Amino acid sequence: MRMVETIESVRRAVQSASKPLGLVPTMGYLHEGHLSLIRTARAECDAVVVSIFVNPTQFGPGEDFERYPRDLNRDLSLCEREGVDVVFTPNAREMYPQGFRTYVDVTELQDRWEGASRPGHFRGVATVVTKLFRIVQPQRAYFGEKDYQQLKLVQRMAADLVLDVEVIGCPIIREPDGLAMSSRNVYLDDESRRRAAALFAALADAQRDLACGVRSAARLCTDMRAALDRVGGIAIDYVAVVDPESLEPVDVVANEARALIAAWVGGVRLIDNAPLVPPA
């Protein structure tokens, strides 16, 4: 496994790599969710690159950029264990040199939900992912469905800009109680960690409602909010039922939809989602 820190060096490292080449973009502090992406890439590609870069442009004022968990040595050990070929670990100066002025916006998709709660977040995501695609030039890139809006935005961006990369969404990896794995889970204290499982429980309630014949998105959202409120200590940011591609709200779940939740638990902002598929 090679670790490289500059754009020039990662381009040299992948120049002779067998194709297809897979890319797994991360911000590090790897967990089983990231490792599942690496394993899928390893199974489907001849060579795998993992990027580890805590991207400053996707953090807003007052967010957790400075304290975002980092452990590069541990990350490198995990990547080596999983058979990664190249790990790209640039710093901010490498990705955003002096005079940098160009950013990528994916209009409409970036404006709702996470985009509304975190202004500028998706502009930073789209910009850094575009740069990574151009630098590494993978044939396939792997993203987790836990960040569902991010996945849809990157897929749209890659198609619109003809980036010649297949953006592949991979299933959410969960803890035994259903909590979606996230690097930010390390912030949760014991009580908050217990409460955090309510996000998945609320999504499961919506899936049960659907199976019992409920088709009203408003009713599904009301029941999800009630499930979170019953636990206590959870500040809801948004609960929504949306079209799985456009992410626009739906009124009736006639076909597959997506349930989205964002909430603060013990001062930690968590997101989760699940498909809603009416029974045949």
Q: Which residues are catalytic?
A: 34
Task: Yes or no: say if 146 and 271 are a contact pair by the CB < 8 Å rule.
Answer: yes
Contact partners, residue 4, CB within 8 Å, separation at least 6: 10, 13, 86, 87, 88, 89
DSSP state letter for 180: B
Which residue is associated with the tokens 């490498």? 94
Q: What share of the chain is helix, strand, coil (3-state, %, to 5)?
A: 40, 20, 35
Task: Yes or no: say if 13 and 118 are a contact pair by the CB < 8 Å rule.
Answer: no
Task: Yes or no: say if 89 and 10 are a contact pair by the CB < 8 Å rule.
Answer: no
